[in-house]
A and B are shown apart, each in its own frame.
Chain A
Amino acid sequence: GAVVSQHPSRVICKSGTSVKIECRSLDFQATTMFWYRQFPKQSLMLMATSNEGSKATYEQGVEKDKFLINHASLTLSTLTVTSAHPEDSSFYICSATQGVYGYTFGSGTRLTVV
Chain B
Amino acid sequence: AQTVTQSQPEMSVQEAETVTLSCTYDTSESDYYLFWYKQPPSRQMILVIRQEAYKQQNATENRFSVNFQKAAKSFSLKISDSQLGDAAMYFCAYRSARDPTGNQFYFGTGTSLTVIP
- Taking CB as reference atom, which chain B residue is nearest A102? B101
**Is the beta-carbon distance between A32 and B50 smaller than 8 angstroms?**
no
Distance of A23 Cα from B103 Cα, bound (Å): 18
B102 at the interface (CB under 8 A from A): yes
Distance of A29 Cα from B50 Cα, bound (Å): 22
* CB of A56, distance to nearest CB on chain B (Å): 12
> Which residues of chain B are within 8 angstroms of A108 by Cβ–Cβ distance?
43-44
Number of interchain pairs (Cβ within 8 Å): 55
A58 at the interface (CB under 8 A from B): no
Distance of A2 Cα from B97 Cα, bound (Å): 20
- Taking CB as reference atom, which chain A residue is nearest B106? A46
B42 at the interface (CB under 8 A from A): yes
> Which residues of chain B are within 8 angstroms of A38 by Cβ–Cβ distance?
43
Point out which of B33, B45, B47, B109 has the most chain A C-beta atoms below 10 A from its C-beta.
Answer: B45
B-side binding surface: helix, strand, loop or mixed? loop
Taking residues whose C-beta sits less than 8 angstroms from the other chain, chain A's interface range is 20 to 34
In the complex, chain B residues 11-59 whose Cβ is within 8 Å of any chain A Cβ: 33, 42-45, 47, 50
Distance of A29 Cα from B20 Cα, bound (Å): 36
> Which residues of chain A are within 8 angstroms of B97 by Cβ–Cβ distance?
100
Q: Which of B89, B102, B107, B108 contacts A97 (CB 8 A)?
A: B102
25 A-B pairs with C-beta separation under 8 A: A31-B101, A32-B101, A32-B102, A34-B105, A41-B89, A41-B110, A42-B110, A43-B109, A43-B110, A44-B45, A44-B107, A91-B43, A93-B43, A95-B45, A95-B105, A97-B101, A97-B102, A100-B33, A100-B101, A101-B50, A103-B105, A105-B44, A107-B42, A108-B44, A110-B43
